[in-house]
Amino acid sequence: MKQPSQLTAFAWRLAPFFSITLLLVAWESLARSGSFTSFVLPAFSAVVERIWNDAIGGDLAINTALTLYRALTGFIIAAVGGVALGLAMSRSVGVRWFFDPIISVGFPMPKIAFLPVVILWLGLYDLSKISIIVFDAIFPVVTATIAGIKGVERELLWSARNMGAREREMLWQIVLPAAFPMIMTGLQVALPLSLIVAVVAEMLMGGYGVGGAMMTASRFADSRGVFAGIVEIALIGFVLVKGMTLIRRRLLVWHQEAMEPSTA
């Protein structure tokens, strides 16, 4: 028999699914109550049927694969570039002097506003979509890297220097491992942001992809197609966020936070 604490933990794990189930039941009930037309609010069962038909026809696989390709490619470039730039800004006064005003001004800006410029320069294809994803997702990675490196305990650095550690050894063995939890936090912010920008770019630029399919459905007054896209984006985002959480736990198994109890 399970202990009360185990039952409580199990109940907390099921709580998010309960709220989502309740939301879906309310959606289905409202759609079938007659308060809304099927155009304004199609039933959830009808949306699931549309997703199933898209899956059988192959459209779901193509659109999902393209959206994931753009989002993950942009995310990986932003992750590598953001960590490298944050590290350079932390280690070089000249680099920080040059890039700090750009980061300070650009971080709070809605970078999607630069999409028309990107379209003018790069066209309507994948290069422009991935570029705007990188431009948007790189900022949280840079700031998290800088914050993580700045937060490294000075006692560790002094001890390493006193023991004769060279700069490269300090970087790879002390600075980056100590800053890694904060860097991972920046990556966890950048990943869903990459998906959001990918979908928005597809909506505005057209073509294949989940966002493009939603806009095509909207033009043809296909309400089920639009809501199917919303459900697909929610599922993709959920899988990506949970996957990144799992990766964080695996990579930070040595860190104190991995030893703390979690209900996630």
Sketch the domain layout of the chain as residue ranges.
Answer: 44-251
Q: Which tokens in the block code for residue 228?
A: 């199917």
Is the pLDDT score of 254 beyond 70? no
* pLDDT attached to residue 113: 87
Q: Which range scores top for mean pLDDT: 3-7, 17-21, 187-191? A: 187-191
d(CA 32, CA 28): 6
Between residues 15 and 24, the one the model is more confident about: 24
Percent of the chain at pLDDT > 70 equals 84
* pLDDT attached to residue 91: 84
Pair 252, 178: CB distance under 8 Å? no
* CATH 3.90.1150.10, applies to 44-251: no
Average pLDDT over residues 153-160: 65
* pLDDT attached to residue 261: 47
Q: Of 58, 34, 63, 43, nearest to 202 (Cα)? A: 63
Pair 186, 140: CB distance under 8 Å? yes
Mean confidence (pLDDT) of the chain: 85
Average pLDDT over residues 50-61: 93
Percent of the chain at pLDDT > 90 equals 50
- Split at pLDDT 50, 70, 90, the class of 203 is very high
Non-local CB neighbours of 240 within 8 Å, separated by 6+ positions: 71, 191, 192, 195
Q: Of 101, 132, 130, 102, nearest to 114 (Cα)? A: 132
d(CA 62, CA 130): 17
* pLDDT attached to residue 264: 47
Pair 64, 126: CB distance under 8 Å? no
Pair 109, 172: CB distance under 8 Å? no
* pLDDT attached to residue 19: 80
- Split at pLDDT 50, 70, 90, the class of 255 is low
Q: Give, for 155, the enclosing helix (H) or strand (E).
A: helix 154-162
Is the pLDDT score of 60 beyond 50? yes
Instruction: Classify the phi-psi angles of 200: left when phi > 0, otherwise alpha if psi is within -120 to 50, otherwise beta.
Output: alpha
Q: Which tokens in the block code for residue 175?
A: 């600075």
d(CA 203, CA 226): 11
* pLDDT attached to residue 1: 46
- Split at pLDDT 50, 70, 90, the class of 45 is very high
Non-local CB neighbours of 10 within 8 Å, separated by 6+ positions: 2
